[in-house]
């Protein structure tokens, strides 16, 4: 007889079918466990698929043993899609106990809005902000048993490879192929958010997975259909969104999007300090005259138009603002304090007056 047992959790992924009535118990290991292995739980996986993965990786002696043990542990309902560190040759009950332990979760990366591929340094404090490649490298170090971490340098080298092989979407591929600095060609194409990567994968495989899944996220915002609202192609929308992310707070995203479009429409330089900082791998509120005068593919003080690439990974909110800018005729804006209060105008003299309202020291350079 076949009995269907469904375990329902608020965010779980499990549905179990257990086979009863057989005269022999399911094959099981006695332990102790052996070498470390990484097991994947994919979104939508059934119990059969997950238990099969356990048996295929040699974690349990049989999928049936894992079924039986899972039915005895209610915490199994909370297991989320992702990657988990287990050992070969575990008793099924131990395998289930390990899987439900939060410490077993590996390969999870949290990328904040505004993060760049490479590490950056704050000019004022000297603090180093970890880049996406560093975050991936750290996530790859969780496997254990002497398995080497994927290094920052390996990821940087892999990220300079062929765009198509790295999963770059069709709508971005031509622009990416023209990026003058291959090390920066994937900037903005790994989206902000929480991601799961296989820590035992190669650098190129990790990057391809993240770039592919990020493209799906961006496209879900309407990226491919909203060009009529902005006059920009999808890649340009992403570039604009990265500027919005770095130059403003969420309450002003849509207004800053309009400033960008208004300036582009009349051939006025964007003149964003964030684009100067980007080429320097530094961060500061204000930049120096020398840096603003240095021509780079990103410096919007020195050149008209958008930068060659996004300058960071924008959040969904910034992307949506670039897709749907707020109506208005603004050409200038200035943030006047650390709380983010920002003044907008279409008049340059008014803009100069607004600059005088900036709180003392807020726009000082760190150099």
Q: Which residues contact 165 (CB under 8 A, 6 or more apart)?
A: 204, 208
Residue with tokens 């939060």: 102
The answer to whether 299 and 279 are in contact (CB under 8 A) is yes
pLDDT of residue 161: 97
Q: How far apart are CA 360 and CA 363, in angstroms?
A: 8
Average pLDDT, stretch 217-230? 89
**Does residue 288 have a pLDDT over 90?**
no
pLDDT of residue 360: 64
pLDDT of residue 123: 78
Beta-bridge partner residues of 5 = 16
Q: What φ, ψ does residue 84 adopt, rounded to 5°?
A: -135, 140
Provide the edge-to-edge strand list for the sheet that holds 128-129: 128-129, 120-122, 282-283
Residue-averaged pLDDT of the chain: 88
Sequential DSSP letters for 11-73: S----EEEE---SSPPP-------SEEEEEE-TT--HHHHHHHHHHTTSSS-HHHHHHHHTT-
- As a whole-number percent, the residues of the chain with pLDDT over 90 amount to 67
Average the pLDDT over each of 5-19, 74-88, 254-268 and give the range with the smallest value.
5-19
Q: Which CATH number fits domain 2-104: 3.30.70.600, 3.30.1490.480, 3.40.640.10, 3.40.50.2300?
A: 3.30.1490.480
The shares of helix, strand and coil residues in the chain, as percent rounded to the nearest 5, are 40, 15, 50
Whether the ω angle into residue 27 lies within 30 degrees of 0, i.e. cis, is: no
Q: How far apart are CA 72 and CA 97, in angstroms?
A: 10
The answer to whether 48 and 63 are in contact (CB under 8 A) is yes
**Does residue 7 have a pLDDT over 50?**
no
**Does residue 19 have a pLDDT over 60?**
no
Task: Note the pTM of the prediction, 2 decimals.
Answer: 0.85
**Does residue 8 have a pLDDT over 60?**
no
**Does residue 28 have a pLDDT over 60?**
yes
Q: How far apart are CA 83 and CA 293, in angstroms?
A: 47
Q: Where are the domains of the chain?
A: 2-104, 108-220, 229-355
């Amino acid at each position: 007889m076949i009995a269907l047992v469904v375990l329902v959790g608020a965010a779980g992924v499990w549905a179990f079918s257990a086979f009863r009535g057989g005269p022999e118990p399911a094959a099981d290991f006695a332990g102790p466990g052996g070498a470390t292995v990484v097991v994947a739980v994919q979104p939508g996986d059934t119990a059969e698929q997950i238990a099969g993965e356990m048996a295929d990786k040699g974690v349990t002696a049989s999928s049936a043993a894992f079924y039986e043990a899972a039915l005895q542990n209610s915490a199994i309902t909370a297991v989320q899609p992702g990657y988990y560190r287990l050992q070969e040759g575990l008793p099924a009950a131990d395998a289930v106990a390990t899987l439900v332990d939060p410490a077993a979760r590996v390969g999870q990366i949290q990328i904040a809005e505004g993060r760049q591929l490479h590490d950056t340094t704050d000019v004022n404090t000297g603090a180093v902000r970890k880049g996406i490649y560093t975050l991936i490298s750290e996530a790859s170090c969780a496997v254990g048993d002497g398995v080497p971490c994927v290094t920052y340098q390996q990821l940087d080298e892999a990220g300079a490879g062929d765009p198509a092989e790295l999963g770059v979407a069709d709508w971005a591929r031509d622009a990416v192929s023209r990026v003058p600095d291959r090390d920066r060609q994937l900037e903005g194409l790994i989206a902000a958010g929480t991601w799961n990567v296989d820590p035992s994968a190669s650098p190129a495989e990790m990057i391809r997975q993240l770039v592919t899944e990020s493209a799906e996220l961006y496209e879900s915002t309407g990226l491919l259909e909203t060009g009529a609202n902005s006059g920009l192609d999808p890649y340009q929308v992403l570039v604009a969104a990265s500027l919005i992310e770095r130059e403003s707070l969420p309450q002003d995203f849509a207004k800053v999007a309009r400033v960008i479009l208004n300036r582009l429409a009349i051939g006025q330089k964007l003149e964003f300090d964030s684009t100067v900082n980007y080429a320097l791998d530094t961060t500061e509120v204000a930049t120096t005259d020398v840096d603003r005068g240095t021509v780079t593919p990103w410096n919007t003080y020195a050149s008209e138009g958008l930068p060659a690439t996004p300058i960071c990974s924008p959040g969904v909110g910034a992307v949506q603002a670039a897709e749907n800018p707020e109506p208005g005729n603004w050409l200038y804006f200035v943030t006047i304090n650390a709380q983010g209060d920002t003044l907008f105008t279409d008049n340059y003299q008014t803009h100069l007056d607004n600059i005088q309202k900036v709180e003392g020291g807020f726009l000082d350079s760190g150099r």
